[in-house]
Each structure stands twice: as structure tokens, then as C-alpha cells.
Amino acid sequence: MNGKNIAHAVTARVKRWHRDEEGMMVWAVLVAILFFLVMTAFVYNTGKTVAVKIETQNAADAMAYSSSVWTARGMNTITASNHLIGELNALYVLHHALGGKHLDEHSGANNEFEMVTTDAALLVASFGKHLPAFPFKGHDSVSKKTSADRNSAIFQAKLVLRIQMLILYAAHAKTYFAWLIDPEPISKAALAGTLRGLQASEHLIGLEYKYLHGVENVVAKGLRVPKKGIPDAIRALDIHQKLIATTIPLTTSNAIDKIAAEHGVRHDYTHIASLPVEPEKPKGELGDEKRSQLIRATHPWALSWGKPIADAMLIAPTSLASTFYTRWVTTYTLQSSEWLRTKTGSNYSNHLTVINYRGGGSGEKGKGIQLLVVRGVNATAGGYSKGNERWNDSTNPQAASREIDDRFCNLVFAKSNSAPKLAASAIFRQENPTGVICFAQSMIYNANNKQDLRTGSGTKQPDQAWDTLNWSSGVPEYNGNPSFLSSLGDIFRSASEPQIRLNWQAKLTPVTNYKLGKVGFLAGVQDQDIRDVMTSGLPGYALTNH
């Protein structure tokens, strides 16, 4: 084939190729395949990034929630220990009100002036029990000495019975001699009836004295040893709750480390608030000792458990034992709390700690007990005005919210160990080159009801839910001793069994821009990406949900 023919053939093929429509779909298929591949890569990258985001966010949520769960457990433990201390102190008070310090320290008789004087008078009156007719009754009973302290219910009740018995003996002797010399049968018979009545009264007083003496023996022999261990037990519980406040943040940190390892993330920055508690002000610094956390933990139990004891004292009504017991329970409730709260290097001298107070003495060293209260109570008026803390200030809700943020919330940042692996990296930019960052916040709160009247009613303790006592219903406030001759009902009749509801809980909450941008937090941030998140904020939004 010559060159002319070759050229003609090529030209003909080219023209036919241009006219031929077969194969025109190839370009559409190529574009579709390319688009499909890009979309596949896009969906894959989106799913991968979202999956890593969800995993990291779940880790942040778990770490934040776990931190507040541990904090809530610590608060419930501290609340429980506060009540154990109050209950032990109440038991100490109830025992001490019966026999006082002399009964604790001595097994022998208490030779107080009053007892020595009545002993002498009873010795003189002993002749009367040998009279041939109408002899004195109950002398052997009331002649028994007492080991109780003069500042106790048993001592004072026995003294009252002795004095009453001596008055009866004087009347008995006078009537007896009148009966001897009276010649008239009618009047002599009347005098005999009077003597029988006096004998019956003497017998009843003797029975009451014998009953009180039996109570004293039980208190001295059966309960004295356990009572002596109560102050040391209270001191141990006080140390225990301080250790709880110290160790819970460490336990929380370990729990977060474990969760981070299980989820394969790092927590480059974690703001875990310490337990929101602080020791209440010591004795001498609190505005009113009757409003200390210790006396508030003690008084309701002293009333509730003291009622059956006071009722039992009514078996000896002539002695006024129940009235005396009422007064010494209220007196020692305050004095015991003051003694325990006195600094360890200082002496506390009062009826509670000095034998036969009138006899002098330097008292006992304080125990330095400072129950833990929710942080902020000490800054209120007097240091005890629950419900008036800064985080409870309804007049400035923004400031109150920030106080809650600082005191009760835990903020956690979680960062994935590596960036999500992307397909078609030449086309899609890696938005998280150093890993995905997520954050979460949780808070602790108390789910108990809160009283509307922030300062309480005066006779009832404030129902402040966010507290380290957590009474579930109104319990009495300590208001000092009733009048001397007040009835039993003034203090004990309305006393019911106190109810406690440990109800500190945890929940996840949104994060405020205030918390993210708080300058003080940045000192602990090492990761620059997290620093950028914390300082950037989200303009226009007060709350950030993750």
C-alpha cells in the first residue's frame, strides 16, 4: 500500500471515530466512580471521626461522673461519721447526767458537805427505828451512801429524799411523844393514825431511795467502763473523717486513671475539686457554741434517748429525779460539746470535767474535735448560719452559680491517644491532628428537701439539704435549760426518734464558659490544644454541653 492509500485510510478511520457515538458513557461512569469513591471516603472519615469522638466523650463523661460519685460517697461517709460522733456524745451525756464525774472516777462514797450533814442527822434519827411502837421506816435505805457526783441527777434526787425523810422523822418523833403522853383515847387513836401515815410515807421514800441506789449501781458497775472509752472513740472518728477528706481526691484520681486506661484515652487536664468541707470553727471562735455542728449532732439524740430514762425516773416522783435528770442532760449536752471542741492544749473546767465542781480543780484537756461542715458555713454570720452561704445567695444567682461551679463541680478533659485515621488524606484535611479532645462536667448535690426559711425557726434546726448532718425532718435546736421546776414535757415529751437520710448524689451537668475560661485552672494545663479550648470559649453561650 502506497503512502496515498495509507493517508486515506487513516483519514477515513478518524472521521468514522468522530461520527461513532458508541462509548460516550465512559466519561460519566468515570466521574460517577470518582464521586462515589470520594463520598465513600467522606462517609468513612465522618463515621471514624464521630466514633472516636463518641468514645472519647464517653470516657470524659465516665471520668467526670465517677469523680463526683466518689466525692458524693465521701460526703455521705463524713455525714455518717458526724452522726456517729453526735450519738456517742449523747450516750456520754446521758450517762454523765445520772452520776457525774465522781461516779466515774471513784468507787467510794461521795463525802460532799450535804451528804455528810444528812449522814449525821440520820445517825441521830437512828434511834427511831428501835422504838417499841411505830418505829421509823426506811432508815436503812436512806442511810446508804452515794458515789454520784453532786452535779448529777442521782446525787440531787437522793439528797432530796434524805431531806424529806428527815422532815418526816422530825414529825414522826414529835407525834410519837405526843401519842405517848396523851391520856385521851380518842386523840390518842388519831395520833396513832397519823403515825401510821408517816410510816407509810417513810416506807415509800425508802423504796424510792432503794430504787435510785439500784440505778446508781447499774450505772457505776455496768456502764462506767464503756463510757470511759467514748471520748477516745470520738477522737478516732474525728481523725477518720479528716482522712476521708484527704484520701477521697486521691481515690478519685486513681479511678479516673483506670477509666482513661480502659477507654484508651488520656486526661491531660482534670480539675477535681477537693471535698467541699472544712472543719468548723473551734471553741471560742464560733459566734454561739449552742449552734456548733457537734451540739446540733448531739442534742436530738440526747432528747430522743433520754426520754425513756427520764420516764423511768418517774418511778421515784418524790425525789424529783426526772426533773434533775432533765436539767443535767441539757447542761451536759452543751458542756460536753464545749469540752470536746476545746483545743487539745487548753483545759476545760466546768461541771462536766471537775469532780464536785465546788471542790475546784483544773478540769481536763480539750479533745480538739472539729466536725466537718460544708465549705462556706464558717463564712456566714456567727459561723453557723446554714442556708446563708454564698452559694445559697438567691439575691445574686450568677455569683451563687459560680460558687457552686467552684465548690461542687468536677471538670474533666479527655484526649484520644491519636488522631482518627482518615481515607483519602490528600483530599480531606485532618481536623484533629493531635487527637480528639472532649470535656465533661459533673457535680455533687444533696437531694433532700430544703427549708424555705433559710435561718431556721429558732426551735428547729434549719433543713439545709446541702449539709453534713442531713436530717430528713425538722429536729430540735439546742436552746439551753428549761426553768428549774419545769415539767418533764417541756424537753422530752415532744422528742421523737431523729431520722437521717444520707442523700449526696452525683450527676453530669453542662459546662459554663466561666469554668472553661477561669484563669486559675490554666496553671495545671500542659496540653496546648486543651489550653486553646479553655481560653477560646463559645461566644454567646453561657452553657456548653460537652
Residue pair 284/326 in contact by the 8 Å Cβ criterion: no
pLDDT over 70 at 261, yes or no = yes
Position 541 scores a pLDDT of: 40
418 pLDDT tier (thresholds 50, 70, 90):
confident
Domain end position, chosen among 226, 257, 286: 226
- Does the residue 535 lie in any domain? no
Asked whether residue 213 falls in the same domain as residue 133, the answer is yes
- Does the residue 82 lie in any domain? no
Position 12 scores a pLDDT of: 66
Domain end position, chosen among 178, 195, 226: 226
25 pLDDT tier (thresholds 50, 70, 90):
low
Domain end position, chosen among 167, 191, 226: 226
- Largest Cα separation within the chain, whole Å, is 188
Q: What is the pLDDT of residues 70-109, one digit of tens each?
A: 999 999 999 999 999 999 999 999 999 999 888 887 767 8
- Does the residue 131 lie in any domain? yes
pLDDT over 80 at 539, yes or no = no
Length of the chain: 546
Asked whether residue 131 falls in the same domain as residue 214, the answer is yes
Q: What is the pLDDT of residues 285-333, one digit of tens each?
A: 888 889 999 999 999 999 999 989 998 999 999 999 999 998 899 999 9
Position 405 scores a pLDDT of: 86
Position 266 scores a pLDDT of: 85
- Does the residue 236 lie in any domain? no
Domain that holds residue 18: 3-42
Q: How many Cβ atoms from other residues are within 10 Å of residue 374's Cβ? A: 25
Beta bridge partners of 504: 446
The average confidence (pLDDT) of the chain is 83
Asked whether residue 130 falls in the same domain as residue 219, the answer is yes
Residue pair 71/256 in contact by the 8 Å Cβ criterion: no
58 pLDDT tier (thresholds 50, 70, 90):
very high
Beta bridge partners of 265: 416
- Does the residue 160 lie in any domain? yes
Q: What is the pLDDT of residues 151-207, one digit of tens each?
A: 999 999 999 999 999 999 999 999 999 998 887 888 889 999 999 999 999 999 999
- Does the residue 155 lie in any domain? yes
Q: What is the pLDDT of residues 523-536, one digit of tens each?
A: 666 777 777 766 66
Position 29 scores a pLDDT of: 76
44 or 245, which is more confident?
Answer: 245
The DSSP call for residue 354 is S
pLDDT over 50 at 488, yes or no = no
Q: What share of the chain has pLDDT > 70, as a percent?
A: 83
Number of domains in the chain: 2
pLDDT over 50 at 489, yes or no = no
* Long-range contacts of residues 161-165, Cβ cutoff 8 Å, at least 24 apart: 161/205, 161/208, 161/209, 161/212, 161/316, 161/318, 161/319, 162/118, 162/122, 162/209, 163/118, 164/205, 164/318, 165/122, 165/138, 165/139, 165/202, 165/205, 165/206, 165/209
Instruction: Give the residue from 195, 192, 158, 154 showing the smallest Cα distance to 173.
Output: 195
Position 32 scores a pLDDT of: 84
CA separation (Å) from 36 to 40, 237, 424, 428, 485?
6, 70, 13, 15, 97
- Does the residue 167 lie in any domain? yes
Position 399 scores a pLDDT of: 87
pLDDT over 80 at 447, yes or no = yes
SS3 state at 277: strand
Position 490 scores a pLDDT of: 52
Q: What is the pLDDT of residues 104-126, one digit of tens each?
A: 877 678 888 889 999 999 999 99
Q: How far apart are CA 165 and CA 205, in angstroms?
A: 7
- Does the residue 244 lie in any domain? no
Position 507 scores a pLDDT of: 94
